[in-house]
């Protein structure tokens, strides 16, 4: 077997995943197992929500990296991009001359086997992919789906299987990983500065997306958000270079079948219209950005059905509506933890200023009677330093802002140039009600007395402060049951 491929049949094939608890890696483990592979893995001993998913799947994994974890039965090693050649398990795989692939290479190979659709953008990839999968299932599209998060409408898993004709997957721009993917269609939600520990500047980010779009075959589809300046700029640039592909806009400012209109939030629903259909659609989750994600998902699925000659089915709009209404979000994306003591506890992965502000603004409209208390933990020193002013200004829709120290990434080390205190100082200069805490115990102690009936408490960020919300919910729930 070539070092950069998987076998044609995975039945009984033994694969070991290094960094298996990562969201993408855990989802890929699920996909491999679904296709018949025997999967094992390893990671650090810190607890993530993926622990629960892996345990439900019955996939064994070690919470340490040791050469012995690569037992004699392993035929292929796939590793997260967070781990390199100095990892003891990768050293062992090299010593034994085992085939080794980075996760994105393995995902790319899977995408080459069928007609594949890649969901991309700085924001909204996970939710849009989950929505596309949910709508695909409802509309009868024969697709398998991979999302970098667990999805309630997928039974709490990260993959769904409705057939083998298509493959829908979340694809990531970091280190240009999405260039391993083989797309027939691409959704482009947004482009703006991010991952500046890798990209030199915004032009470098655009170049990565240009290269990705250029991977589309002749007559491929670029489904892009006209309401996002970066996505629109990329589409305009590529129209000159690739007149052989189809450019399909969506959004409030779009022309054509996927123009969004009549957006309103009422009675726990976000409703909207698309010009292609003579009816309204609705979501049970808040936020204007979710409406845009839904429009992109519908466009992707309908385009595939149109190519099959099924785009005119009379029941299509009803099926799409049912799919959208059944969508309950995904793990760590406006996820409702529960309500206790009259306090609604939520968690969201938003780790970029734009995502923070749009999510909080959406919650403010969706829950107009609630005081919004947000606990935020910034992710990576490089992102925090590069977007410090933008982060500070992103909490305007919140009534009370609680800040934690920066959550370090495995790919960088702290040099003291930026800390959670720096973010606090900046935020306090433009928000009237901000607190900073050195550890989670301090935060929880403060919240026990500060939170009150009617509040919405939401943890935000790509760090591990979700534990705060979970602990507080359990404490308030226990107190109200006693």
Which one-letter DSSP state was computed for residue 194? -
What pLDDT, on a 0 to 100 scale, did the predictor assign at position 1?
43
Domain coordinates in residue numbering, the chain: 14-101, 114-326, 335-481
- Report the distance separating Cα 296 and Cα 426, nearest Å: 35
Considering only 190-199, 257-266, 339-348, which range has the smallest mean pLDDT? 190-199
Overall fold of domain 14-101: Rossmann fold (3.40.50)
Q: Contact at 8 Å (CB) between 182 and 108?
A: yes
Residue 404 pLDDT exceeds 90: yes
Lowest mean pLDDT of 16-20, 231-235, 333-337, name the range.
333-337
Residue 181 has pLDDT above 80, yes or no: yes
Residue 330 — very low, low, confident or very high, per pLDDT cuts 50/70/90? low
> What is the structure's pLDDT at 267?
65
CB-based contacts of 385-388 (< 8 A; 24+ apart in sequence) = 385/417, 385/418, 386/193, 386/196, 387/193, 387/194, 387/196, 387/352, 387/353, 388/418, 388/422, 388/423, 388/426
Q: What is the distance between the alpha carbons of residues 156 and 331, in angstroms, rounded to a whole number?
A: 8
**pLDDT exceeds cutoff 70 at 176:** yes
So what's the pLDDT on residue 4? 64
- DSSP states along 15-50: EEEETTTSHHHHHHHHHHHHTT-EEEEE--SS--HH
CA pair distance 126, 357, nearest whole angstrom: 18
pLDDT band at 155 (very low <50, low <70, confident <90, very high): confident
Radius of gyration of the chain (CA): 22
Q: What is the pLDDT of residues 56-93, one digit of tens each?
A: 999 999 999 999 999 999 999 999 988 988 999 999 99
Name the helix (H) or strand (E) containing 79. strand 76-79
pLDDT tens, residue by residue, 106-119: 999 999 999 999 99
417/237: higher pLDDT: 237
Closest CA to 245 of 305, 298, 304, 184: 184
pLDDT for position 331: 64
Give the residue with greater pLDDT, 64 vs 270: 64
Please say if the pLDDT value at position 409 is more than 80: no
What pLDDT does residue 3 have? 55
Mean pLDDT value across residues 231-238: 98
Superfamily of domain 114-326: Mur-like, catalytic domain (3.40.1190.10)
CATH 1.20.140.10 fits 335-481, yes or no: no
pLDDT at 291: 94
pLDDT at res. 2: 47
pLDDT tens digits for 198-229?
788 999 999 999 999 999 999 999 999 999 99
Question: 420, 332, 409: which is closest to 376 by C-alpha?
Answer: 420
Report the pLDDT value the prediction gives residue 481, as an integer from 0 to 100: 62
At a CB cut-off of 8 Å and minimum separation 6, what does 52 contact? none
Q: What percent of the chain has pLDDT over 90?
A: 73
Q: Which pLDDT score is estimated for 225?
A: 98
């Amino acid at each position: 077997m070539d070092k950069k491929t998987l076998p044609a049949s995975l039945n009984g094939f033994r694969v070991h995943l290094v960094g298996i608890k990562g969201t993408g890696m855990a989802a890929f483990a699920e996909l491999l197992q679904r296709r018949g592979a025997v999967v094992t893995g390893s990671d650090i001993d810190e607890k993530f929500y993926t622990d629960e998913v892996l345990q439900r799947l019955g996939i064994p994994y070690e919470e340490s990296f040791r050469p012995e974890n690569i037992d004699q039965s392993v035929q292929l090693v796939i590793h997260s991009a967070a781990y390199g050649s100095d990892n003891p398990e990768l050293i062992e795989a090299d010593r034994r001359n085992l085939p080794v692939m980075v996760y994105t290479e393995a995902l790319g190979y899977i995408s080459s086997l069928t007609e594949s659709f890649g969901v991309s953008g700085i924001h909204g990839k996970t939710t849009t992919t989950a929505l596309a999968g949910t709508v695909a299932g409802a509309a009868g599209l024969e697709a398998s789906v991979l999302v970098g998060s667990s999805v309630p409408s997928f039974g709490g898993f990260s993959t769904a299987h409705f057939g083998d004709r298509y493959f829908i997957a979340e694809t990531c721009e970091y280190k240009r990983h999405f260039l391993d993917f083989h797309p027939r269609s691409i959704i482009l939600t947004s482009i703006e500065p991010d991952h500046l520990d890798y990209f030199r500047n915004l032009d470098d980010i655009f170049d990565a997306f240009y290269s990705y779009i250029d991977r589309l075959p002749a007559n491929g589809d670029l489904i892009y958000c006209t309401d996002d300046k970066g996505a629109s700029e990329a589409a305009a640039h590529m129209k000159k270079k690739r007149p052989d592909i189809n450019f399909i806009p969506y959004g409030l400012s779009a022309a054509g079948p996927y123009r969004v209109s009549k957006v309103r939030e009422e009675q726990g629903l976000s409703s909207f219209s698309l010009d292609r259909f003579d009816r309204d659609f609705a979501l049970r989750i808040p936020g204007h950005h979710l409406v845009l994600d839904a429009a992109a998902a519908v466009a992707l699925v309908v385009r595939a059905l149109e190519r099959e000659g099924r785009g005119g089915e009379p029941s299509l709009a009803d099926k799409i509506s049912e799919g959208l209404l059944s969508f309950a979000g995904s793990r760590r994306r406006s996820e409702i933890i529960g309500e206790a003591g009259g306090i609604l506890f939520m968690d969201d992965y938003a780790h970029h200023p734009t995502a923070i502000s749009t999510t909080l603004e959406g919650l403010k409209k969706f829950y107009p009677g609630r005081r919004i208390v947000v606990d935020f933990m910034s992710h990576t020193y490089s992102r925090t330093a590069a977007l410090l002013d933008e982060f500070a200004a992103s909490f305007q829709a919140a009534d009370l802002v609680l800040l934690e120290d920066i959550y370090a990434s495995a790919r960088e080390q702290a040099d003291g140039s930026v800390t959670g205190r720096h973010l606090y100082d900046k935020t306090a200069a433009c928000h009237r009600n901000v607190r900073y805490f050195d550890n989670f115990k301090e935060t929880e102690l403060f919240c026990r007395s500060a939170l009150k009936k009617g509040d919405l408490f939401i943890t935000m960020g790509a760090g591990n402060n979700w534990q705060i919300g979970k602990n507080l919910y359990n404490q308030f729930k226990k107190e109200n049951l006693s």
